[in-house]
Amino acid sequence: MSATPTTSTPSAGQHRLRHVLGQWLFHLYGFAGYAFFYLPILILVIFSFNDSRSVSKWAGFTLRWYEAMLQDRQIMLALWNSVFVAVVSTAIATVLGTLAAMALERYRRFPGRLIADITLYLPIIIPDIAMAIMLLAFFNLSGIGLHIWKVHFFGVRLAVPISVIIGHVAFNISFVAVVVQARLAQMDRTLEEAAQDLYASPWRTFWRVTLPLMMPGVLGGALLAFTLSLDDFVITFFTSGAGFNTLPVRVFGMIRKGVTPKINAVSSLMLGFSLLLVTLALLAARGREERKVGFF
Amino acid sequence: MPDASSAAVELRDVVKRFGDVVAVDHVSLRIAPGEFFALLGPSGSGKTTTLRMIGGFELPTEGEVLIEGEPQGYKPPYQRPVNTVFQNYALFPHMTVAQNIAFGLEMRGVPKEEIRRRVSEMLDLVRLSGYERRRPHQLSGGEQQRVALARALINRPKVLLLDEPLGALDLKLRKAMQLELKAIQEQVGITFIYVTHDQEEAITMANRIAVMNKGKVLQVGTPQEVYEQPQTFFVADFIGDTNFLPVQVMQVTAPVEVMTESGTRLTASWAEPTLRTGVKAVMAVRPERMHLYRPGSGPEGPEWNRVEGIIRQVIYKGLDIRYEVFVAGECSLHVRMPVGRSEGTFQRGEHVIVAWPRAAARVFRSES
């Protein structure tokens, strides 16, 4: 470098000060970001243990709101409904979404490819409320209606909210398909050719090679679908018949009668559940990555 | 079909089109059982597409592929008695080495006990015993290559297809693997069809070579035939180093005679059949067939060609010395002379005679 010391060059001390200040501001910014996101959640969780009906004044530790929550049959039923809808819709959406992703990835060129892409991405970008109204109209016009099917399943009586499940499948297919497609795009096609070269029929190639290799994508998509389904309010609210509540819908009903720490407890429970799912997803992804090191 | 059964693989007038692009253009080949056959050509010459049609990964647009005399028609890869070693190995990353090698036998329902025995035989053959439980990403490139080979050979295919299998290895490992592959092929006696763009590799390993360019097979022959008697300009240019002198054809019947641009008459052993007297052409001579002499010496007579030149560059290569000789009004010639000849070495700027026998010279239509 041909730079010569001149009066306009800042001294070493100035450089250092600037550097330290910059670091400090940077950390502050990061901290503020975290606080903005997580402080409300922290407060919500803390007040779920508050021994008072107040949601602003601390009056000592208690578990009585959790007790009340567990004894509230309505909440427990809503929780069951949420999990049931999430499990069933995730299972269906994962199969259909994976098939859609494979078709789009396999057959890159066909007439109407763009339209197929657009229709697949649409449920991700269109507002929930628009989708909810469309689904409602669809159920009314098609005659499916908003019925709850009563099903006997190995001696257990199940209430199957067919319209809610179809609604959840409808938006979850897109999310699964997008995640699986991303995985398929980086998969080596010659692996499937190699399997076929080694006498595996297309069917066995799928089970022995394609599916195991795209499994991280399928699992990731399923986990995402499950979380979205568990979390959904708008579409569930519009497509569920009278008397059917999922947890978010139930919480909404409770909140209209006033906020109590019981709602905090329910929210904390859902938060804990989501946290668990995210952790599992990250752990699964990390496990895969470690195995992949050195392969590419 | 008594005649057809004598070929391990036969291509009859095969054409492959991708849309408007003709990837393989009326190719006919017969590959004998036990042969090490190389498909040699630059990228885009159709060699890989040809291989993929034998494997069943592509179907011919026209023509027919026969394996051991049997037309393959629309048979998918998993119903053909051939196996492939892929360019990037295509080992299954979610399976161990042993599982990878066992895959083909497992798909064909071979009993577990036999699979175990044959897998360990194969690991012996490719010198990877003890690697059973490793995963592909834990292996070096050369080891992955050998697993891919074992995975294909364990099925005892009638024909093994290899698509640039050594392309990803470094030069030293490649040379070692060339010899190893050749040894394994001789040991198992399976027909190998080997795709490569590396002419040295093809010459080292193959019994016969098909040189391809732009979807066409230009010449099929032993390495020696292809090297010493190229039939087209492309083959002469693609394989080995060659000097090309621009000439005008004087006589096309033997002995072939041509004239350089400065009027020197030269003679050649062969001229491309489509050449006519009076047209422009090129004379091709390998650098090692040319000799340098001091002015006034060297062989003379009708069997010899002589031109005068000036040494422009001298490069010592250990085994031989390479000279670049400037021939006034013509071109530069590259001459390769073994070290330790009686004439001694020549210096830059020296006047020399470049001489080569008629037998070493061939005349081609010039292509640009």
Q: How far is A205 from chain B (nearest CA, A)?
A: 10
Residue B289 banded pLDDT, cuts 50, 70, 90: very high
For residues B69 and B171, state if they share a domain.
yes
- Going by C-alpha positions, the residue among A124, A114, A102 that lies closest to residue A181 is A102
Q: How far is CA A228 from CA A169, A204, A274, in A?
A: 11, 32, 10
For residues B212 and B253, state if they share a domain.
no
pLDDT reading at A291 higher than 60: no
pLDDT mean over B265-270 = 92
| Closest CB from A194, A213, A294 relative to B86 | A194
pLDDT reading at A1 higher than 50: no
Residue A109 banded pLDDT, cuts 50, 70, 90: confident
> Is residue B88 within 8 angstroms of chain A, CB to CB?
yes
- Partners of A291 on chain B (C-beta within 8 Å) are 135, 137
For residues B248 and B210, state if they share a domain.
no
Partner-chain contact B108 A199, CB within 8 Å: yes
Examine the fold and report which residue of B217, B234, B251 is the final residue of a domain before the chain moves on.
B234
CATH number at residue B248: 2.40.50.140
Examine the fold and report which residue of B184, B202, B234 is the final residue of a domain before the chain moves on.
B234
For residues B183 and B314, state if they share a domain.
no
For residues B19 and B102, state if they share a domain.
yes
Residue A285 banded pLDDT, cuts 50, 70, 90: low
What's the rounded Cα separation, in Å, for the pair A29 and B185?
Answer: 66
For residues B142 and B16, state if they share a domain.
yes
Examine the fold and report which residue of B207, B234, B261 is the final residue of a domain before the chain moves on.
B234
What's the rounded Cα separation, in Å, for the pair B363 and B281?
Answer: 7
CATH number at residue B161: 3.40.50.300
> Is residue B57 within 8 angstroms of chain A, CB to CB?
yes
What's the rounded Cα separation, in Å, for the pair A257 and A105?
Answer: 50
Residue B342 banded pLDDT, cuts 50, 70, 90: low
- ipTM reported for the complex surpasses 0.95: no
> Is residue B151 within 8 angstroms of chain A, CB to CB?
yes
For residues B248 and B291, state if they share a domain.
yes
Taken in order of first residue, the domains within chain A and their CATH numbers are 73-292 (1.10.3720.10)
For residues B259 and B341, state if they share a domain.
yes
Q: How many CB pairs under 8 A join A and B?
A: 66
For residues B21 and B163, state if they share a domain.
yes
Partner-chain contact A193 B78, CB within 8 Å: no
pLDDT reading at A286 higher than 70: no
For residues B124 and B173, state if they share a domain.
yes
For residues B228 and B99, state if they share a domain.
yes
> Is residue B93 within 8 angstroms of chain A, CB to CB?
yes
Q: Could you report the per-residue pLDDT of B69-128, keeping only the tens digit for each?
A: 899 999 999 999 999 999 989 999 999 999 999 999 999 999 999 999 999 999 998 889
Query: Number of folded domains in chain B?
Result: 2
The structure's pTM equals 0.80
Q: Which range marks the domain in which residue B44 is found?
A: 4-234
For residues B219 and B267, state if they share a domain.
no
pLDDT recorded at residue A160: 82
pLDDT reading at A294 higher than 60: no
Partner-chain contact A199 B151, CB within 8 Å: no
Which of A109, A198, A203 is the best mutation test for B, with the most CBs of B within 10 A?
A198
Three-state SS sequence of chain B: CCCHHHCCEEEEEEEEEECCEEEEEEEEEEECCCCEEEEECCCCCCHHHHHHHHHCCCCCCEEEEEECCEECCCCCHHHCCEEEECCCCCCCCCCCHHHHHHHHHHHCCCCHHHHHHHHHHHHHHCCCCCCCCCCHHHCCHHHHHHHHHHHHHCCCCCEEEEECCCCCCCHHHHHHHHHHHHHHHHHHCCEEEEEECCHHHHHHHCCEEEEEECCEEEEEECHHHHHHCCCCHHHHHHCCCCEEEEEEEEECCCCEEEEECCCCEEEECEECCCCCCCCEEEEEECHHHCEEECCCCCCCCCCEEEEEEEEEEEEECCCEEEEEEEECCCEEEEEEEECCCCCCCCCCCCEEEEEEEHHHCEEECCCC
Partner-chain contact B90 A294, CB within 8 Å: no
